[in-house]
Amino acid sequence: MEYSLHENGQVMEVAISGRLTFADHGSFREVVSRLSSCSGGEMVLDLSRVEFIDSAGLGMLLLAREGAENDRVKLTLRGAQGQVKRMLDVARFDSLFILED
């Protein structure tokens, strides 16, 4: 997993690319730690370049959700496609997150 951060006005965008698996837990923790520094109160995780996610990756997204709730940050998942979109659908993440195409 690779990621880049970009502040766009009041929104912090995190573009994630590659695979999101258990091996990426440490790197993803860095992303979650950025939630508390999100000055605009909104963070978007851009998943459009994530090509694969496993159950551990889904769990990491849930950790991000929990961190966002604790820090009162609005968290949106954007651009999931292919296998990643199917996994989010099967896990019913639409009931837990704001999902954007």
pLDDT over threshold 90, residue 59: yes
Query: Is residue 62 very low, low, confident or very high in pLDDT (cuts 50, 70, 90)?
Result: very high
- DSSP assignments along the chain, one per residue: -EEEEEEETTEEEEEEEEEESGGGHHHHHHHHHGGGG-TTSEEEEEEEEEEEE-HHHHHHHHHHHHHHHHHT-EEEEE---HHHHHHHHHTTGGGTSEEE-
Higher local confidence (pLDDT), 37 or 54: 54
List phi, psi (to 5°) of 12.
-95, 120
| Rg of the Cα atoms in the chain | 12
Q: Give me the domain span that covers residue 51.
A: 2-100
Report the CATH number that the domain containing residue 51 is assigned in CATH: 3.30.750.24
**Token digits of residue 4:** 């880049």
Across 25-34, average pLDDT: 88
Average pLDDT of the residues in 11-30: 94
C-alpha closest to that of 14 among 37, 40, 34: 34
Q: Are 41 and 11 in contact (CB under 8 A)?
A: no
> According to the model, what pLDDT value does residue 57 have?
97
User: How many distinct structural domains can be found in the chain?
Assistant: 1
